[in-house]
Amino acid sequence: MESDKHNLLFSRIVEQALPGFSDKLSARKNEKSVITRLKQGKKGLMADYPGLGYPDAEILHNRLAVAVHTVARKQRELRQISEFRSPREEKGLKALTRQLTYEDQFSPNWAGNTLPDAIDSGHGAVAYLYDLLTFVERMIEPKGDSDKAITLKQRRPDIYNILLNEENVNGSISKIQIINQIMSTAIEKYFKRNFGVEQFTDLLNTTVFCQQLKLERVDLESLFSCGEYTPHLSPNVIPEISNRYADKEPGREVSPAVYGSVFINNGVMPAISVNEKIHSFNELNEGRCELIERFLRLSRALNLPYEKLDTLLISILKAENNQSGHKWDITTNTLRAIGLFTQMNRKLKCTASQFSVLYDGISVYSRGKDISDFDRLFNNDDRFNYRFILDDKKMEERDINRICSVFGINYDTFSYLALLTREVMGLNVLTRSRDIISAIYRPVVLADLLKIKPLELLALMKSMNPDAQFGRLFTGIPENQVYGSFGQADITSAISALISLQTWRKENKLSVAQIFNWITPAIVDDQEDKTERELFRQIKENTDSALFSNEVLYLAGVPKDINWVSALQELVDDQGILKDADDGLDWDSYKKNALKIITSKSEEKLKNLTSEERNTIVNTILSVLLEKRAAQWKSVSGLLEGYLGNKTDSITPALYWCGSNTGEFLKNIRALPDNNMLSAKDNNVMVLLSSLRRYSDIIAHFRLEPAMMSQLLSHDNNQNWYKLKTEKPDLQLLYRLSVYRKLIDDAKQPADKLLNYLSLINSLPIDSRSDEIRLYRDQALNKLSLFMGWSINELLTAAQYVAPENAIIRTLPQILLVKQIHSVCLKTGLSARSVISLFNLDESSESLLYQSVAGQVMESLAQQDVSLYSNDESSQGDLTASVSAGKTTLLVYSENQQEEEEENGEDKTLLTVTLQTLESTPLEGVPVVWKNISGLGELTDTESKTDTSGRASVTLKAGKKQGVALIKAYYGVKNIPLPLIRIDCDSSSLGATDIQTVPEKPVDIPADGISAVEITVLFRDQYDNPGMDKNIRWETTGGRFIHKENITDIDGGCHATLVSDNPADIAVNVFYENNPEYSMRVNISFI
């Protein structure tokens, strides 16, 4: 009976899970219960029922599990009901049998079960927590990066240490208590790690504190500003305003939270103090312990005493918080300022007191027996018979003299600094206050550190940006705050920029006055003096002979019935002054444009002349035009050279840089009255001279080449290649010009190579195929590597950083940035990759990134036995280029050949260039430009592209002229010559076709050894083409040759001279040595 029930239940489960399969399954073993079948698993089911596949067995097994769990849960719920169940109303045979119970079916172990609300219940909160922890550890954490992921055990170790009891599981707890427990766990480790104690309360004992931090008694007093280091206010601050400085502390002693130990007390009173009786601290808490630990680490890192470090930190934080002093957290801005102090301390020997003046002001506090910085400056000199007191009253004359003497400045400097201070602070008069004196003192301190004068410092700040008003940062309230979007700078950025500017100025041997005068427009005098008047007079006299006129052209042989000055008004004005275009510095461009205009006017005016005659006149006019242009340039630049004191080659580019040119300058000068002073409306001449002096000084100082200036002042070239703002000189322009000069000076090749590189690389298309871009990149790197003397691999790394889109360097700013990377690499010994990685690090970079960069640096510093650079261009190969020709000799295409062999056509050959990488990978789609250098032969196309095999081809036809055809293929910025193609006659049919003698009839020639017969033989092929450069053989039966040519000339002729010492009849035979059958004979009779 039980077996039938099991079979019935199992059959119903099979029918529901696998409809239609119950009839097909045949039992192989004895009938088993549903629970037994569930325990034996899917493999057991497949073993019992061979016709059951694995997918169906899995479905059936899952259905069995659901059925068993459902029955078990139902029986468990029924058992937990305390009341007796009412008897079931059963009728028939069912009433006579025993009811099926859970105990009969499953035989549960009730003693091993738990109550629903027990902490070890399978449905309770503890079980849910355990499932969550297991899920996180097994499913979530393995998916994270093992090097970066922070596991739950690392983030919340307190969870794994929770004691699971009835109180913790079922009790109520607030969020604050949970947070406190978490923080307490973290703090316990913090104190153990940084102080060596288990908990904060252990540090309240001063002896333990000193032992754990390795401090002496005197160090403890200095750290907390107590005992012998008690801070006090200067006695030269009057009581009425002392509370402002002492923060309402009575008397001259002030709290350590005001001075001396402000940072570790977080600027909050009451400050930390020591109870000498019980050797313990007052007001020490966990937060202040953290500040102490940070403070001590900074002190060790910067090697500063506690007082100096506290003053430094607080001055920086005050500038960061707009002098409010309500927040003392160390931020990124704080670290920037600390880093700047470290740099200034190392390079400029800047002290903490000096740096604090820049960010806050002169200190009026001191500790112990020391005197304040204010008193050390103003009240520590016996030469003065009165004390300088801060009382907020108006400054007197003696106060100003005192300030000038203490600061080491003159009255003019003080007046200017005082004017700026009043403007920035909005004051009508200056008072004896700490803020005003500190504002005047800041530029003096920084100027002293930079070894320049205060006014020069302000001039440098104005040079950086005339409109930014950087002076307000020093003569007002300092601010330490980074600005990303606003066009504004803070005190840290300004000081750092001034230090860099001063370093750059010294390296380039520039004075402050030079920089300021170049950037700031000069004030021009309204009237000229004797020097200018003499200059104008000499220019007028010297240019009279350099004017372009009709008379000069007539003397050169140009037709006189035409007014050429009027006809060429696009090139010359009515006075004979030649006009210049915008690109007038480019002599070739000017010549090309002038030739075009002259040719056009000549064709218009000289229609009756032949083309040869017109070309002669055009060349004559162009020659005179260029001669007069050169004379006018020389006249102007020569006189201006003496006036400005600069070399001639910087004068003309400076004129164009001013927005003028030689023609306009001459026109303005010649329009001036001879003996009268300049009027106000003529002041533009003086402005031009002033600008000319400024620009010529810049060109001369940086030794800028005329070719470079020509490209720079060309609008298109500057906009696309140089990207420099030349309209008005600024600091960025001067800096880039200095880097350019260093680039040229350090280069392995002359400057022309760089200028040609810019011209070539910017003529290439930018929207090209990948292989084409790769070719351009490799060739560009090749040329730059040779120019800079840097390995291609390093240069490629820098190029990928500068031009990440394709690593092709196209502009001068990109080249200058690469040069800066190169300079850093040479100076430090680091690789380009390491330098760029260091540059990309910032305060938000992860520690793993810092570790990776450190590894790169150490690797690049290791000794490497490799050659970084070779000046051999063959060793800088970027690809292989091979050339081939179908045949190297072509038959010239003459008129007779056209008539006789039209079916064969013109002789031709196929020229091919193959481009491949060093790995023999063909470059597809690269354009190749074909140029006929010699002009012989005819190319069927001027450009083609490489195919999938990397080949580009063009057909060369023979043409109608004999000679050697030289064809070059240009790809990217390189070119390669193809095999020389010889265009020749038909050598197989070449023979002597005519022979001539002088005298015409060579008979009865005296045989005296002097009388000679000149013989000329012409060689032609079957198409009447002359045989050029062919070897000829002469044969004679007597006499002797006193001159004999063995090679034919350009007309196919060959000459010989024959004499005889004895009378005889002589036969002379001549032939082409390869075709002796095509010979010719002449008979000569000597008597």
799-838 pLDDT tens trace: 999 988 888 888 888 898 999 999 999 888 888 888 998 8
CB 392 within 8 A of CB 433: yes
pLDDT score at 156? 78
Question: Could you tell me which residues are beta bridge partners of residue 922?
Answer: 916
The SS3 of residue 916 is strand
Q: Are residues 424 and 510 in the same domain?
A: yes
Q: How far apart are CA 66 and CA 45, in angstroms?
A: 16
* Boundary (domain end) residue, out of 938, 953, 984: 984
Q: What is the pLDDT of residue 82?
A: 46
In contact, 498 and 446? CB cutoff 8 Å? yes
Same domain for 714 and 836? yes
738 and 834 together in one domain: yes
Question: What does the pLDDT read at residue 718?
Answer: 61
Those residues whose C-beta lies under 8 Å from the C-beta of residue 264, and which sit 6 or more positions away, are 223, 224, 272, 288, 291, 292, 295, 310
- Tell me the average pLDDT across 874-897: 75
List, in sequence order, the alpha helices (H) in 175-216.
175-194, 206-213
pLDDT at 349 (0 to 100):
93
Q: What's the whole-number mean pLDDT along residues 238-254?
A: 59
At 699, which helix (H) or strand (E)?
Answer: helix 683-701
Beta 981-984 vs 991-998: how paired, if at all?
unpaired
Does 729 share its domain with 831? yes
In one-letter notation, the amino acid at residue 446 is: L
Peptide bond into 999 cis (omega under 30): yes
844/858 same-domain check: yes
Average pLDDT of the residues in 868-892: 67
- 671 domain residue, yes or no: yes
Q: What is the mean pLDDT of residues 1061-1083?
A: 89
Q: How many domains does the chain have?
A: 6
Instruction: Identify whether 301 is part of a domain.
Output: no
Residue 872 banded pLDDT, cuts 50, 70, 90: very low
Of 20-29, 324-333, 486-495, 961-970, the least confident: 20-29
Structural domain includes residue 259: no
pTM: 0.68
- Whether 46 is covered by a domain: the verdict is yes
Residues 840, 962: one domain? no
Q: Which two tokens stand for residue 178?
A: 């949970």
Q: What share of the chain is helix, strand, coil (3-state, %, to 5)?
A: 50, 10, 35
User: Which of the residue ranges 18-22, 929-933, 1016-1020 would you say has the lowest mean pLDDT?
Assistant: 18-22
Domain that includes residue 463, residue range = 398-431+443-520
Identify whether residues 796 and 717 lie together within a single domain.
yes
Range with lowest mean pLDDT among 114-123, 475-484, 617-626, 867-876? 867-876
Stronger pLDDT, 167 or 1072, i.e. the higher one: 1072
Q: What is the DSSP string of 308-372?
A: HHHHHHHHHHHHHTTT--------HHHHHHHHHHHHHHHHH---HHHHHHHHT----EEETT---
Pair (1021, 1059) in one structural domain = yes
770-799 pLDDT per residue, tens: 777 777 888 888 888 888 888 888 898 999
Domain assignment present for residue 852? The answer is yes
Q: Strand (E) positions, 181-288?
A: 231-233, 273-275, 280-282
Q: How far apart are CA 1063 and CA 348, in angstroms?
A: 107
Residues 846 and 892 in one domain: no
Let me know: does 355 contact 312? Beta carbons within 8 Å: yes
Please report, as a single letter, which amino acid is at residue 639.
L
For the record, the structure tokens of 961 come out as: 């002229």
Count of C-beta atoms within a 10 Å radius of residue 804: 8
pLDDT attached to residue 122: 73
List phi, psi (to 5°) of 1061.
-95, -15
Cα separation of 832 and 857, whole Å?
A: 10
Identify the pLDDT of residue 42. 82
- Could you give the C-alpha distances from 82 to 75, 79, 101, 283, 300, in angstroms and in order? 13, 8, 17, 63, 75
Long-range CB contacts (< 8 A, 24+ apart) of 721-730? Answer: 721/758, 721/762, 721/810, 721/811, 721/812, 722/811, 722/812, 722/813, 723/811, 723/812, 723/813, 724/812, 724/813, 726/657, 729/518, 729/519, 729/694, 729/695, 729/698, 730/519
What are the residues whose beta carbons fall under 8 Å from the beta carbon of 1083, sequence distance 6 or more? 1002, 1065, 1066, 1067, 1068
Higher-pLDDT residue of 83, 24: 24
**Selected residue with higher pLDDT from 854 and 148:** 854
951 occurs within a structural domain: yes
User: Contact 172/187 with Cβ under 8 angstroms?
Assistant: no
Q: Which runs of E-coded beta strand occur in 814-962?
A: 879-885, 889-891, 908-917, 927-932, 938-939, 943-945, 951-957
- The DSSP secondary-structure symbol of 1016 reads E
Within a domain: residue 164?
A: no
With 0-12 CB in 10 A as exposed, 13-18 as middle and 19+ as buried, what is 1086?
Answer: buried
Please name the residues in contact with 444: beta carbons below 8 A apart, sequence gap of 6 or more: 407, 408, 409, 417, 454
Please, are residues 204 and 272 in contact by the beta-carbon 8 Å criterion?
no
Q: Are 471 and 461 in contact (CB under 8 A)?
A: yes
| Distance from C-alpha of 652 to C-alpha of 631, rounded to nearest angstrom | 13
- Using DSSP's 3-state secondary structure scheme, residue 912 falls into strand
pLDDT of residue 818: 92
Mean pLDDT of 915-943: 85
Q: Read out DSSP for 733-750?
A: HHHHHHHHHHHHHH-SS-
Written as six digits, the tokens of 1015 are 């013989």
CB 106 within 8 A of CB 35: yes
Q: What mean pLDDT comes out for the span 264-293? A: 87
Neighbours of 717 (CB within 10 A): 19
Q: Is 945 helix (H, G, I), strand (E, B) or coil?
A: strand
Same domain, 19 and 39: yes
Interior angle at CA 551, CA 549 and CA 555, nearest 5: 125
pLDDT given for residue 1 in this prediction: 47
The CATH code of the domain that includes 1000 is: 2.60.40.10
Instruction: Let me know whether 652 and 567 are in one domain.
Output: yes
- Helices and strands: H and E segment counts in the chain: 41, 22
| Burial class (CB within 10 angstroms; exposed 0-12, middle 13-18, buried 19+) of 42 | middle
- Both 775 and 798 in one domain: the answer is yes
Contact 1081, 1069 (CB under 8 A): yes
Residue that finishes a domain, picked among 836, 863, 890: 863
Q: What are the C-alpha distances in Å from 408 to residues 357, 411, 413, 422?
A: 16, 10, 10, 21
Q: Is 272 exposed, middle or buried (0-12, 13-18, 19+ CB in 10 A)?
A: buried
Other Cβ atoms closer than 10 A to 745: 9
Q: Number of C-alpha atoms within 13 angstroms, CB side, residue 587? A: 11
Residue after which a domain boundary falls, among 498, 520, 542: 520
At residue 587, does pLDDT exceed 80?
no
pLDDT > 90? residue 151: no
Q: pLDDT tens for residues 443-466?
A: 999 999 999 999 999 888 888 877
The reply to whether 303 falls in a domain is: no
